[in-house]
Amino acid sequence: MKKQFWLAVTCLLLALSGEAQNLNVFCEDDAQVLGPDGKFTGMDIEIVSEIQRRVGNTDQIQLVPWTRGMKYLDSEPNTLLFSMARTKERNKLYNWIGPISEVSYGFYAKADSKIVINSLDDAKKVASIGVYRNDIRDQFLTREGFTNLDRGNNNFLNLKKLMVGRDVVIASSSFGIIGETKRAGYSLSDVKFLYTFLKSQIYIAASQKTDPKVIGNWNAALESMKTDGTLKKIFMKYSPEQELPGPEITTF
């Protein structure tokens, strides 16, 4: 009972403190799903919206292409972009709110494909691999020496290219592949998983000149969501098989 009381007090104080300034809140437009009401929704948007409610922030979430969101994140103060994998290369470039989830990235092929991938070396021999330009998959595989990457502007188009035979495999996430197949007019049974090549924690990234008080308030609100079970309820709604994120990883 005492624990619930202090949780309520914390949320009330966060809401009363509000945000000292307006925020630019960007979400990757390829990462969410169009709901029956015509509005975009999804696990990450619901998590961020609940954080906003708890801290008293009313800034609109703006859906933008990933490259545009990154441009704002790299150049504008008080700017947030979600959802971003936290990597060694990115760790010191931004401030971090989270983790809000954890994800596995792997290679996927058409369900009737005979291809077998058991290692990165196997994948390097594939004719073409569809990847999302400049995101963690592209960056990781490029760093590993892949020269067979077919870079696309979003994962939705990559999935469509896979299904019509323009790419042999695509690099997707364990959660993202669900929405990608649905948006492209297919089902999850139309593709098959081949091999996991990377795991990462996922965060809301904040630009360097974002007010530290904002970052602290948002992290405190997220922690209260974990403690009172709200985060788990959101996970159960969108991805019941996915485990809640573990402790924040800060060293790489």
Q: Per the structure, how many domains does the chain have?
A: 2
> 123 has which bridge partners?
none
In this prediction, residue 15 carries a pLDDT of 47
CA distance 238 to 16: 30
> 171 has which bridge partners?
107
In this prediction, residue 35 carries a pLDDT of 63
In this prediction, residue 185 carries a pLDDT of 87
Residue 109 lies in a domain: yes
**CA separation, residue 210 to residues 19, 90, 243 (Å):** 11, 16, 30
Please give the helix or strand (H or E) that residue 234 lies within, else none.
Answer: helix 230-238
Residue 187 shares a structural domain with residue 126: yes
Residue 108 shares a structural domain with residue 124: yes
Closest Cα partner for 211 from 64, 76, 10, 62?
A: 76
CA distance 46 to 44: 5
Report which DSSP code applies to 127.
Answer: S
**CA separation, residue 158 to residues 47, 154, 245 (Å):** 26, 7, 27
55-88 per-position pLDDT tens digit: 999 999 999 988 899 999 999 999 999 999 999 8
Residue 250 lies in a domain: no
Residue 248 lies in a domain: no
Residue 247 lies in a domain: no
Residue 64 shares a structural domain with residue 136: no
In this prediction, residue 14 carries a pLDDT of 47
Residue 152 shares a structural domain with residue 223: no
Residue 57 shares a structural domain with residue 117: no
SS3 77: coil
Place of tokens 């970052």: 215
225 within 8 A of 231, measured Cβ to Cβ: yes
pTM: 0.76
Residue 52 lies in a domain: yes
**Is residue 28 exposed (0-12), middle (13-18) or buried (19+ Cβ within 10 Å)?**
buried
Report which DSSP code applies to 18.
Answer: -
149 within 8 A of 129, measured Cβ to Cβ: yes
What range defines the domain where residue 169 resides?
103-199
96-124 per-position pLDDT tens digit: 999 999 989 999 999 999 999 999 999 99
Tokens of 131: 């990847």
Residue 18 lies in a domain: yes
Residue 7 shares a structural domain with residue 118: no
CATH classification of the domain holding 159: 3.40.190.10
CA distance 24 to 206: 10
14 within 8 A of 68, measured Cβ to Cβ: no
Tens place of pLDDT per residue across the chain (252 aa): 444 445 444 444 444 444 555 999 999 876 566 566 767 788 999 999 999 999 999 999 999 988 899 999 999 999 999 999 999 889 999 999 999 999 899 999 999 999 999 999 999 999 999 999 888 899 999 999 999 999 998 888 899 999 999 999 999 988 789 888 988 889 999 999 999 999 999 999 999 999 999 999 999 999 999 999 999 999 999 888 788 999 999 988
Distance from the first to the final alpha carbon of the chain? 39
